[in-house]
Structure 1
Amino acid sequence: MANVNEGQRRFRGYLAWLLTAALAVSPVLQASTTGDYDDYQPPSRDGGGGDNDWRVPAIVAGAAALVLVGSWLHRRSEAAQRSTEDDGDVIDRLQRNGPEFAPQYNTSAFAAVGVVRGDWPFVLDFAHEQPVIVTLRISAQDVPEIYTLRIPFAADDVGRHLLQFRLPSAFGDSERPAAIAVTATDMSGERTVSSFRVYALGCGPRAVGSVAIEEVSFLPRRIRTQASEQASYRFFSHSEFPQAVAEIMRVEPADDGERQFFVNEEPIDGGVAAGRSIDPQQWDGRDESQSVSTGTHRLKVRAWAPTGGWVTAWSDSQVSVAP
């Protein structure tokens, strides 16, 4: 945790002027390409969906991921200027189901949709093992500019960092949906890197105070389903969140960024209380269809309140599943 505090002190002094409006996407993001990706519409439990939904790109390739995140975010910026009577449906969905992610993505170039508000605190907790340029872009509904925070980290800055700042007043005095994109590239800005890992992403009063959810534990390192072995997970929350979901993500290493694939999820009954850890929960190594999910897995926790913000946290520990 010493590296986190050191990183926070190092960057807090100039975050204010680094958060600037970017009206154009960089050339590498505007370039056309082909790749194994698609627009993903998160399933709505009430059957909703439509042209006004803010779709999250499903990202599986590094070079394609950069292009897709940039073009998708630019489209969201254009859509943000076209207010419709259905805009409230997006907010209702996010307040009901929490922040949205694609079911598969490259952790060095991914996007999410969540609720933001002017002057709300925002947090990004991450680590890297090589020089990197970390770029955070936020495109909010009815806000024309794409706000961009771009920070280069040299070789002597590797490690874990906590970026925490307040959103500008331009995001308005009421909650609104926003597209949030995070990319981590080499110093050329053209290629995603392999060592980048996000531990937490969140926005709102309940999400920030360091990071609202931490100590995400996912153990043991290996389980065998034929032996009826199970993995156990738990986490600590600094804030009260009426709703929370634990998601199991299968991970695959790659030279251009770790891939994560949705496997299964389990709601946390009753949400989480402030100042305590949840009771240990179990996972039997199976996906939604009850098939064995072989390979390496991480835990992702999404927690949110109808008002007050949201947070997503990932485990550092991994569980390998064998039949």
Structure 2
Amino acid sequence: MHRCRKRILAYQLAAVLALTPGLPGLASTTSDDVYPQYGDDGNGDDNGWKLPAIVAGAAALLLVGRWMQQRSQASQQDAADDSDMLEQLQKRGPEFPAQYNSSAFAAIGTVRGDWPFVLDFSHDRPVIVTLRISARDVPDIYTVRLPFGADETGRHRVQFRLPPAFGDSERPAAISVTATDMSGERTEPTFRVQALGCGPRAVGSVAIEEVSFLPRRIRAQAQEQASYRFFSHSDFPSAVAEFMRIEEADDGERHFFVNEEPIAGGVTAGRSIDPRLWDGRDERQRISTGTHRLKVRAWAPTGGWVTAWSDSRVNVSL
């Protein structure tokens, strides 16, 4: 398999604590339009956690920033909701919206003070990558901004430890990743996230690697199927493969959830899973035409989580 050149950035990053600035000149939208209830257990209680579910690039920057501010401002209230969310994350793994822009997206995952955090990504043009993490009882948003110039394109891995302010026990946190051009106001469409994770099981090398998703094309009506597999460096009792439909856009690649398949028994350290098949159909057994990317989420009740995306894509036709 072709591999992109990787640069491993071994940072001991200090926290840059700042509230996310607003972006001027962007139209506002109602919260009901862009913050649908997500991760609901069916009883109508979202525990105060909502993910921005919008795929437009510039608007996504505004909405993700606003959401992170709301999470920070909520740190002094509704703390009792966190125990329910923590239980949910330990049971179901990190949460992502069903649709998002890969250059400006948010997630919910567990964090802890001094835990390692890893972000693996690539880009073809100059970019400013901003990672923000917000949790209750942490008064400000932990923010890391990394500019990469014209001579620094390619693939990068950023790894660092969270500050002690995140506490000595696991807690839910809002996590956002944005990638902009050097102005900081427009999303960078060539940005591709490869992996995101937190905790001792997630980091060393990125815990889930070699995510394969082949062949490049399948015809679903002819019963052709795509094959996928991946390698794990850690034991994760729970894992799930998700199939995301991809749309290219001038303001960033759009991801739309199509279907998922739990990995029974989780994954074992030092092993690849046996090849598995996907028939190109969504949750309702309809053929999902277009280009698709594989996303793998793996987690443990304690010890962390990781999400990894395939470089390879599969185009599904009738």
TM-score normalised by L of structure 2: 0.95
**Matched residues in 2 for 1:240 and 1:33: separation?**
44
Partner of 1:231: 226
Partner of 1:241: 236
Alignment check: 8 A CA contact 2:26 2:58 kept: no
**Matched residues in 1 for 2:68 and 2:291: separation?**
30
Q: Deviations over 1:196-223 (max 9, x none)?
A: 0000000000000110000000000000
**Matched residues in 2 for 1:51 and 1:206: separation?**
28
Amino acid at match of 2:176: A
**Residue 265 (str. 1) matches residue 263 (str. 2):** no
Distance 1:275 1:131, change over 3 A: same
Alignment check: 8 A CA contact 1:136 1:182 kept: yes
What's the secondary structure of 2:236's corresponding residue?
coil
Listed as ranges, the matches of 1:122-161 within 5 Å are: 122-161=117-156
Amino acid at match of 1:159: G
Give the alignment partner of residue 16 of structure 1, picking from 13, 16, 19: 13
Partner of 2:99: 104
**Matched residues in 2 for 1:108 and 1:277: separation?**
29
Alignment check: 8 A CA contact 1:99 1:114 kept: yes
Equivalent residue pairs, number: 315
Distance 1:42 1:63, change over 3 A: same
Alignment check: 8 A CA contact 1:30 1:71 kept: no
**Matched residues in 1 for 2:46 and 2:227: separation?**
40
The unaligned stretches of length 5 or more in structure 1 are none
What's the secondary structure of 2:165's corresponding residue?
helix
**Residue 42 (str. 1) matches residue 38 (str. 2):** yes
Give the alignment partner of residue 203 of structure 1, picking from 179, 182, 198: 198
Alignment check: 8 A CA contact 2:228 2:275 kept: yes
Q: Deviations over 1:247-304 (max 9, x none)?
A: 0000000111000000000000000011100011110000000000000000000000
Amino acid at match of 2:116: P
Alpha-carbon shift at residue 164 of structure 1 (Å): 0.3
Percentage of pairs with the same residue: 69
Alpha-carbon shift at residue 175 of structure 1 (Å): 0.4
Partner of 1:95: 90
Amino acid at match of 2:66: S
TM-score normalised by L of structure 1: 0.93
Alpha-carbon shift at residue 151 of structure 1 (Å): 0.8
Alignment check: 8 A CA contact 2:236 2:266 kept: yes
**Matched residues in 2 for 1:116 and 1:254: separation?**
32
**Matched residues in 1 for 2:80 and 2:114: separation?**
25
Q: Deviations over 1:39-84 (max 9, x none)?
A: 132244x425525332111021011101000001100111122143
Distance 1:319 1:87, change over 3 A: same
Identify which range, 138-147 or 289-298, moves more after superposition. Answer: 138-147
Alignment check: 8 A CA contact 1:81 1:143 kept: no
The root-mean-square deviation of aligned C-alpha atoms, in Å, is: 1.8
Distance 1:109 1:2, change over 3 A: closer
Listed as ranges, the matches of 1:293-304 within 5 Å are: 293-304=288-299
**Matched residues in 1 for 2:81 and 2:65: separation?**
25
The unaligned stretches of length 5 or more in structure 2 are none
Distance 1:39 1:30, change over 3 A: farther
**Matched residues in 2 for 1:216 and 1:130: separation?**
24
